[in-house]
Every structure is written in C-alpha cells, then in structure tokens.
Amino acid sequence: MSEGLLDERRDALENEFFHKEDEKKIAALRAHMQEQTTKEELQKASGMTDDAVLEQMVALGLNGKTVAALSLVPLIAVAWADGVIQDNERTAIMSGAAGKGLEPGSPGYELLEKWLAKQPPDTLITAWEAYIKSLASQLNDEQNRLLRTQIVNFARVVAESAGGFLGIGRVSGAEDKVLHRIGAAFDR
C-alpha cells in the first residue's frame, strides 16, 4: 500500500472514531435535557422543589402526566405487603385512582396498572417517603397531621379490604409494618 492510501485510511478511521464519540456526547446531552424537562414538569405538577426528590421521581419513570399515581404509592405498598394483591385490594386502589382523577388510558393510570400487575421495587416507596418528607416540611403541624391521617386511613382501608372474616377488619403483620412506615414518613 502506498503511503497516501494509508494516510487516507488512517484519516477515515479517525473520523469514524470521532463521529461515534460525538454521537455518544450528543445522546448524553439529549438524555440530560430530557431529564431536566421531566424534572421541570414534575416540579410544576407536584409543587415539589427538592432536586434530590425530583431526581428520584425521574429515576422511577414518573413525569408530569404520571405524578398523580405517586399519591397511590402507599396503597400499592400495603397491597403488596404480603407479596400478592387481593381482588378487594385492587378494587379499593382503583377506587382511589378514580378519586385522584386517573382515567383509563391516561399515563398515570397505565403506570398504576403496571404497579398492580407486578410488585414495584422498594425504591418506589422510598421515593414516596422522600417526597412526603419534603412536602411535610412545607406544611404546618395541622396540615401535616390531616394529610397523614388521610393517607394512613386510606391505606388501612386497602389493608383491611383483604383480611379478616369475610374481608372485614383484619390487617396482617406485614401490612401493619407498611402502615407504620407510611405514617413515619410524616415525622419531622
């Protein structure tokens, strides 16, 4: 091979290498920009300003259109406490979804269905806890108490829906443990 041909080949290989590197950098920049956009959407939809909490929410796949499903995480956690969701628990959760305005076919509803079909990772409740701790720090004591009572009581309804005689009034040890965890998220 002549030296000119080797130079051309070397230049072509260098160009190919740098082109691939540029593509990687562009893809990383796009991903970062998308994450920023999603965080901004979440901030607007949830009122959350804590950047670390917003990053956890993004990592879980939440966005402005699915953040309403986050309010149902305590119900999901209680329902999955024993490793299986009972039909009565599913019905109670879907009732909660309707109350939150999650309509069939919406992104939030689809996310909820995913959580009902397959147990989500523990990082979901951990992110919810971080969200609630940050939110609770912005509330006065009475608002915090009312929110805690409302969420824990609704989670208890889900827990009680599958237990006891004829599905009335019994909460398993695993569900009770999750209920305590939910309540503790409001502690300052």
Region 131-135 average pLDDT = 85
Q: Is residue 7 part of a domain?
A: no
**What pLDDT score does 163 carry?**
67
**What pLDDT score does 9 carry?**
78
**What pLDDT score does 62 carry?**
77
Phi, psi at residue 147, to the nearest 5°? Answer: -65, -45
Which token pair is 17?
């290498």
| 166 pLDDT above the threshold of 70 | no
Are the CB atoms for 124 and 115 separated by under 8 Å?
Answer: yes
**What pLDDT score does 127 carry?**
87
Q: Is residue 172 part of a domain?
A: yes
In 3D space, the residue among 183, 3, 186, 188 whose CA is nearest the CA of residue 77 turns out to be 183
Higher pLDDT, 46 or 146: 146
Q: Classify residue 21 as left (phi > 0), alpha (psi -120 to 50) or beta.
A: alpha
Q: Is residue 36 part of a domain?
A: no
Q: Is residue 176 part of a domain?
A: yes
Q: Is residue 16 part of a domain?
A: no
Give the domain extent around 85.
46-184
pTM value?
0.69
Q: Is residue 127 part of a domain?
A: yes
Q: Is residue 125 part of a domain?
A: yes
Structure confidence by residue, pLDDT tens digits, 50-109: 788 778 778 877 777 777 788 899 999 999 998 999 998 999 999 888 888 888 998 889
Higher pLDDT, 154 or 99: 154
Give start and end residues of each alpha helix (H) in the chain. Answer: 3-46, 51-59, 73-79, 87-99, 107-117, 123-136, 141-161, 173-184
For the chain, the domain total comes to 1
**What pLDDT score does 49 carry?**
74
Which token pair is 98?
């309707």
Structure confidence by residue, pLDDT tens digits, 11-49: 777 777 766 766 666 655 565 566 666 777 767 766 777
Q: Is residue 27 part of a domain?
A: no
